[in-house]
Structure 1
Amino acid sequence: MKKLGLIGYPLGHSFSKKYYLDKFESEQIKGIDYDLYSLPDIAEFPKLYLQDQQFYGFNVTIPYKQAVLPLMDELSPEAAQMEAVNCIRIQHKDGRAILKGFNTDAYGFEASLKPLLQPQHTKALVLGNGGAAKAVLYSLRKLNIAYAVVSRSETNGDLTYQQLSKEIIEEYTIIINCSPIGTFPKVDEAPQIPYEYLSESHLLYDLIYNPTETLFLQKGREKGATIKNGYEMLLLQAEKNWEIWNAETA
């Protein structure tokens, strides 16, 4: 039985486990299992794949997307640039495990954003500067979309929420929520931006997918903006992970 899994801590409800087990069943993929591995310390991770050579891939979630970097033998270009890994492919050769780290979050975000882009979408406000923002910033650079990071503190971003004026909101027609504000169960919360200045020219993207429509997106929709949640991004990165794990390698 070949094995795949998700490492992180703590691990609650997992999109990944349900997604892959449903995929295995619907596509009649036999001989592979996917499970969750809640690791209080990243030092416990090598024990998994060194003691069981059936492991050939992992997903990585918080707080270990950067902590796994020293364990990698190789990094894909995007993972190296972002300094964050969410997908690991393992090859067992001559008694040793060779790990390559990838970041498919950027692929998922970019592929789900591009179909929505209109000519006026040349500048983006990125709300939050945590780990989730890394893939977004990488993709925006790749798409040649100028951006400013908005943070609660002046030292952590280009702008603070208090500095968001009518002129700034009108200039930055893409607004991306990379913060956890509005995630279930705190569905009555939204990033503190001046929503009254939004228009049908705006595109609001929320990395959150539970609830389906956050208060942030709801406020955008009410102003005629195009809105998008993070669910398709998850689907796309999950399929990219599967492609990476099962790619023929020399």
Structure 2
Amino acid sequence: MDKYGLIGFPLGHSFSRNFFNEKFENEGIKAKYINFEIPQIEDLPEILASNPELKGLNVTIPYKQKVMAYLDELSPEAKAIGAVNVIRVSHKGKDVVLKGFNSDVIGFTRSIEPMLEPAHKKALILGTGGASKAIEYGLKTLGLETLFVSRTKKENTITYEEVTPEIIKEYNVIVNCTPLGMYPKADTCPDIPYEAMDGHTILYDLIYNPDETLFLTKGAKYGATTKNGLEMLLLQAFASWEFWNDTDNM
């Protein structure tokens, strides 16, 4: 029986495990998805050695960067972003070949693209952590200019204090890549001038719990179009399956 799985630490509730095991059951696929909670990335070779039926892995915190040292190949997106969250495991003779991909890009771009109109040329990315690089890469592939917002001043980055109503008008696609507003701290949100938003503003939140964060609620009050991260999560899962089974790109 083929195996797929998730590596990370710690692993609590796993969307991926539930999603894929349900998919396998519904579609009559003889496969199983397992959570591999490994306290250190050095445990990866042991997982591979003791599970020869493994065909693919998802990678979560804190190993999206660290796992790259163990891979034989990287997709162009994964190389540009510097993070991997999907690994295809294939066998060539006695050798195990690992190729890394980044499904954040494909999940995000497929989710936000239908919302974009000609007036959307510039985007603000709130936060500079984990997923923000993939979001930047995705927005650029869709033809948008990007600017990061952070608590501290860095290159191609402004601080929250510098986000004026004029900037909100100019950068009318705003993506929240921070944990602000995530359950259980649902009463928090990024500190930006929501009152400058209007019907041309798109607010996209990577958070999907709660369904509507305070960030989205405040923007919607002024006419912004909003979307949470649930569809992106589903599209990432679809993309993982594509990467694992794409024989054209072996």
Please, what TM-score do these two structures have when normalized by structure 1? 0.96
Larger CA deviation: 5-14 vs 154-163: 154-163
What pairs with 1:46-65 in structure 2 (closer than 5 Å)?
46-65=45-64
SS in 1 for 2:154: helix
The alignment status of 1:181 with 2:180, answered yes or no, reads yes
Q: Deviations over 1:130-185 (max 9, x none)?
A: 11101100011111201110000113751100111111111110010001111111
**Are the equivalent residues in 2 in contact too, given 1:124–1:147 (CA < 8 A)?**
yes
Q: Using the alignment, how far apart are the partners of 1:246 and 1:66 within structure 2?
A: 23
Q: CA deviation at 1:127?
A: 0.1
Q: Deviations over 1:114-141 (max 9, x none)?
A: 1000121111010000111011000111
SS in 1 for 2:6: strand
Q: What is the letter of the counterpart of residue 105 of structure 2?
A: A
Q: Using the alignment, how far apart are the partners of 1:57 and 1:194 within structure 2?
A: 43
Q: Deviations over 1:39-68 (max 9, x none)?
A: 110000111112221111100011111101
Matched residue, 1:225: 224
**Are the equivalent residues in 2 in contact too, given 1:108–1:234 (CA < 8 A)?**
yes
**Are the equivalent residues in 2 in contact too, given 1:151–1:157 (CA < 8 A)?**
no
SS in 2 for 1:149: strand
Q: What is the letter of the counterpart of residue 36 of structure 1?
A: N
Q: Using the alignment, how far apart are the partners of 1:134 and 1:106 within structure 2?
A: 9
Q: CA deviation at 1:94?
A: 2.2
SS in 2 for 1:155: coil
Q: Using the alignment, how far apart are the partners of 1:207 and 1:154 within structure 2?
A: 23
Q: Using the alignment, how far apart are the partners of 2:172 and 2:26 within structure 1?
A: 40
C-alpha RMSD over aligned residues: 1.2
Q: What is the letter of the counterpart of residue 93 of structure 1?
A: K
**Are the equivalent residues in 2 in contact too, given 1:199–1:224 (CA < 8 A)?**
yes
Aligned length: 249
Matched residue, 2:2: 2
Q: What is the letter of the counterpart of residue 78 of structure 2?
A: A
Matched residue, 2:142: 143
Matched residue, 1:99: 98
Segments of 5+ residues of structure 2 without an aligned counterpart are: none
Q: Using the alignment, how far apart are the partners of 1:110 and 1:144 within structure 2?
A: 11
Matched residue, 2:110: 111
Matched residue, 2:28: 28
Matched residue, 1:71: 70
Matched residue, 2:16: 16
The alignment status of 1:159 with 2:158, answered yes or no, reads yes
**Are the equivalent residues in 2 in contact too, given 1:50–1:97 (CA < 8 A)?**
no
**Are the equivalent residues in 2 in contact too, given 1:82–1:134 (CA < 8 A)?**
yes
Q: What is the letter of the counterpart of residue 183 of structure 2?
A: F
Q: Using the alignment, how far apart are the partners of 1:63 and 1:217 within structure 2?
A: 28
Q: CA deviation at 1:213?
A: 0.7
Segments of 5+ residues of structure 1 without an aligned counterpart are: none
SS in 2 for 1:65: coil
Please, what TM-score do these two structures have when normalized by structure 2? 0.96
